Each structure stands twice: as C-alpha cells, then as structure tokens.
C-alpha cells in the first residue's frame, strides 16, 4: 500500500518510510558501528518535493 504524504525517503535504500520508521531507519546493520545516526539518511517528501534537509521533523 502506498504511503500518503508526507513520508520519508531513503535514497540509499530507495525506500519509502512512514515517519516513525524513518526516524529509526538504518540502511545496514553496520551503520551504528560506522557512526551513522538513525534516520539521518532519510529526507521528507511533502507536496511531491523532497526536502533539502536530512532527517525527519520531530513528532
């Protein structure tokens, strides 16, 4: 089932994510060991536009 806007988009995984899942998203299990922050690779899609800001807005 497609997500309604707004939603998160991870360009590295080519995945659409709801906001709660997007805020905790890590691309691979190695991400935490590499210093990646959960959700930082996700940007918000709203009004058919992708945000220039990395990460999703807080709840």
According to DSSP, residue 38 is labeled T
**Cα-Cα-Cα-Cα dihedral sign, residues 13, 2, 56, 21:** negative
pTM of the entire predicted model: 0.87
According to DSSP, residue 20 is labeled H
3-52 pLDDT per residue, tens? 899 999 999 999 999 999 999 999 999 999 999 999 999 999 999 999 99
In-domain check, residue 57 = no
In-domain check, residue 15 = yes
In-domain check, residue 34 = yes
| Structure-token pair, residue 53 | 């800001």
What pLDDT, on a 0 to 100 scale, did the predictor assign at position 32? 93
In-domain check, residue 59 = no
29: β partners:
none
In-domain check, residue 21 = yes
Domain enclosing residue 36, as ranges: 7-50
In-domain check, residue 37 = yes
* Region label for 5, one of left (φ > 0), alpha (ψ between -120 and 50) or beta (otherwise): beta
In-domain check, residue 58 = no
In-domain check, residue 55 = no
- State the total domains in the chain: 1
């Amino acid at each position: 089932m497609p997500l309604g806007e707004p939603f998160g988009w991870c360009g590295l995984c080519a995945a659409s994510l709801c906001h709660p899942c997007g805020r905790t998203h890590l691309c691979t299990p190695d991400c935490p060991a590499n210093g990646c922050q959960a959700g930082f690779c996700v940007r918000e899609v709203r009004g058919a536009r992708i945000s220039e800001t990395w990460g999703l807005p807080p709840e």
